A and B are shown apart, each in its own frame.
Chain A
Amino acid sequence: MCILDETDSGLDIDALRIVAKGINLLRNENRSILLITHYQRLLDYIQPDVVHILSEGKIVAEGDHHLAATLEAEGYEPFLKKKTGAAS
């Protein structure tokens, strides 16, 4: 299993594509991959099976790759609000 912490940080678009290609080559039926990332950018090239959103030390939302796109469009705030409920 490979855990990739912010592998996309600081990469320009060409380097990102090459790194994503490398990560896709790591994919196989016996190997799991955990991508930890700020941005959806890397997920344009690597389609994850499951996306988890972490906030304040807890997972507050889970979904398929569409969740990353929603996140990119709406930001983290709607997900964080959901967790705190009516508090705000």
Chain B
Amino acid sequence: MGKTGHIVSSFDNDLLEIRNAIIKMGGLAEVQLKSATQALVDRNTELARQTIEADMEVDELEKTIDTMAVRLLALRHPVADDLRLVISALKIVSLLERVADYAANLAKRVVALNNAANLPMVGTIPRMSELVCHMIGDTLTAYSQNDDYLALEVWRRDHAVDQLYNSVFRELLTYMMEDPRSITSCTHLMFIAKNIERIGDHMTNISEIIIYQVTGLAPIEPRPKGDETSTIMIENEIIKSEYAEGE
């Protein structure tokens, strides 16, 4: 019975408009990440600049969806699954806006990196990006089809992204130790990898919201956590800091 329309059919249209706008916004964010990554791989400054500019469209959509949701809350007083849809929309929209911001930031760093003569090519970053793009795509599918199983599957997938991020982190550390002249580029790359990893985190968040929207419940498992970089130290740094403590 939940699938049949409301007696007031314009209510259905309002809800559908919000859903469609979110799918559109998610699609834009996905394209943003793809373009930014492509710009990185091809060292294409022009594409990077386009990506930065396209962020404005996502920001506009965020405002539009916010307005739609507030209007619907005020005029329709939604309850139960309708209420969950509107509340979820408000949360998802701000996460998607962050995702597009990360992509734009990635593109900005590509512009900066393209000023450097050569770049340590870290193949893991495009791989991470591809994985995360799939997560975005599947999250949007789960959203559009009310598929809480797919959402849960995406939610678990974030672990693989974190693993890749850990290895990028270590890889970049070794480059920097080998050649201090690469530190600027490697730092940019580190942030790029971190941005992609954060986008993956946001897909886990959105998946949780989808599960709540569909079932009314939050996932029962603890959130997967695989980013270990916050505790990584290089060996001789550890020795130095221990020595410092001894003094």
Decide whether A and B assemble into one complex: no
B residues apposed to A, CB below 8 Å: none
